């Protein structure tokens, strides 16, 4: 199951305490202070790695605490610094402070790193406090505690293609057909309770990532159904594949279903409604040839866009759909390159 959110506690290591000590050497009966400084606590560091794809491993552990520094010793020996705690995160992770909700970092580049909780500074030993007036200081500084905070990690799916549509339109079946992903599939609303990722390999060794976004219903942008929690996942996709259930058993007509989802996209973020879109008429195998042709013709007339009829169960026209997706992604990439050059 793809985990896209994790709440964790992070804390830098505490600084070691300074030492109260005096020189005790032969022939030096009144040695001065020689208490060493405590070691600094380790930092908690977030790194973006291309070897991590989900927050699943991160969410399995609630607290991440770096190593504390060791206390100082006599003979002005400094305590050993605590080791840093490095945590690898997937590309696209947004780090938020849980209490304030403030975005601390949007980590979208592989190799990027940030110190998210600094370790405490080690306390100074009594040698630091020696003065001409106080030559025998019996005080040392305590180590500072490390920074601590609760964080919310949010991963916006970095997928090339976002599968959208009403519940039970066939998105999970499509994902399982196209990739090695095995999402939970059943004939009731909201079978997909979390976004699912799948990688589709095509003949020329190319690959693209598909995200199955949980079914949207009317009012989703305001929290109805599974709410707008999942609308945010398609913000970074390049292409939308909009599945419509054209079977005689569909609860909502294909045309109404299309407009409902489009309206939710528009109301959540108008930019989403402007993304390139491929419209797919799924479950075409449940219509006879004449009714199927009439259905596609009606949809194309009212939507003013081409519609690709497929059956995810029988596999009909799936290869045609894949070619359309690859072609659309190529066009998007070409347009992006032209924009950069211009």
Per-residue pLDDT tens digits for 287-309 = 999 999 999 999 999 999 999 99
Q: Copy the structure tokens of residue 334.
A: 């070409």
Residues whose CB is less than 8 angstroms from the CB of residue 151 and which lie 6 or more positions away in sequence, other chains included = 7, 8, 9, 10, 95, 96, 97, 98, 104, 116
What totals of helices (H) and strands (E) does the chain contain, helices first? Answer: 5, 14
Q: Tell me: the pLDDT tens digits for 106-164?
A: 888 889 999 999 999 999 999 999 988 888 899 999 999 999 999 999 886 567 888 88
Question: pTM of the predicted model, to two decimals?
Answer: 0.55
Q: Tell me: the pLDDT tens digits for 202-216?
A: 776 677 888 877 655
What are the structural domains of the chain?
Answer: 1-155 (2.70.210.12), 161-341 (3.40.50.300)
Q: What is the mean pLDDT of residues 242-265?
A: 92
How far apart (Å, rounded) are the C-alpha atoms in residues 201 and 207?
4
Nearest-CA neighbor of 174 among 316, 19, 16, 30? 316
Of 237 and 258, the structure prediction assigns the larger pLDDT to 258
**What is the reported pLDDT for 207?**
74
| Residue 229 pLDDT grade (very low, low, confident, very high; cuts 50, 70, 90) | low
| Residue 2 pLDDT grade (very low, low, confident, very high; cuts 50, 70, 90) | very low
Residue 38 near residue 128 (C-beta atoms within 8 A): no
How far apart (Å, rounded) are the C-alpha atoms in residues 156 and 165?
19
Q: Torsion over CA of 33, 37, 38 and 42, rounded to 10 degrees?
A: 180
């Amino acid at each position: 199951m793809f985990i896209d959110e994790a709440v964790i506690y992070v804390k830098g290591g505490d600084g070691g305490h300074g030492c109260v000590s005096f020189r005790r050497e032969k022939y030096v009966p009144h040695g001065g202070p020689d208490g060493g400084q405590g070691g600094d606590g380790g930092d908690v560091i977030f790194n973006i790695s291309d070897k991590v794809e989900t927050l699943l491993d991160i969410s399995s552990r609630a607290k991440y605490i770096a190593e504390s520094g060791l206390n100082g010793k006599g003979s002005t020996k400094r305590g050993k610094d605590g080791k840093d705690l490095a945590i690898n995160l997937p590309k696209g992770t947004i780090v938020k402070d849980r209490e304030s909700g403030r975005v601390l970092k949007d980590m979208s580049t592989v190799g990027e790193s940030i110190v998210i909780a600094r370790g405490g500074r080690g306390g100074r030993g009594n040698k630091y406090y020696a003065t001409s007036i106080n030559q025998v200081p019996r005080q040392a500084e305590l180590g500072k505690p490390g920074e601590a905070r609760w964080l919310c990690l949010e991963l916006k799916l970095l997928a090339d293609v976002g599968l959208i549509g009403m519940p039970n339109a066939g998105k999970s079946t499509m994902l399982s057909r196209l990739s090695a992903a095995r999402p939970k599939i059943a004939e009731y609303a909201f079978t997909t309770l979390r976004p699912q990722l799948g990688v589709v390999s095509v003949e020329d060794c190319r690959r693209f990532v598909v995200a199955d976004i949980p079914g949207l219903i009317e009012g989703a942008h305001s929290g109805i159904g599974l709410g707008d929690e999942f609308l945010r996942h398609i913000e970074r996709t390049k292409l939308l594949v909009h599945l419509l259930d054209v079977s005689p058993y569909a609860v909502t007509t294909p045309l109404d279903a299309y407009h409902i989802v489009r309206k939710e996209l528009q109301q959540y973020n108008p930019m989403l409604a402007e993304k390139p879109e491929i419209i797919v008429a799924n479950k075409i195998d449940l219509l006879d040839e004449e009714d199927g042709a009439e259905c596609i013709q009606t949809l194309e007339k009212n939507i003013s866009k081409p519609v690709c009829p497929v059956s995810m169960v029988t596999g009909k026209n799936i290869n045609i759909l894949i070619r359309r997706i690859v072609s659309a992604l190529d066009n998007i990439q070409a347009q992006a390159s032209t924009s950069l050059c211009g």
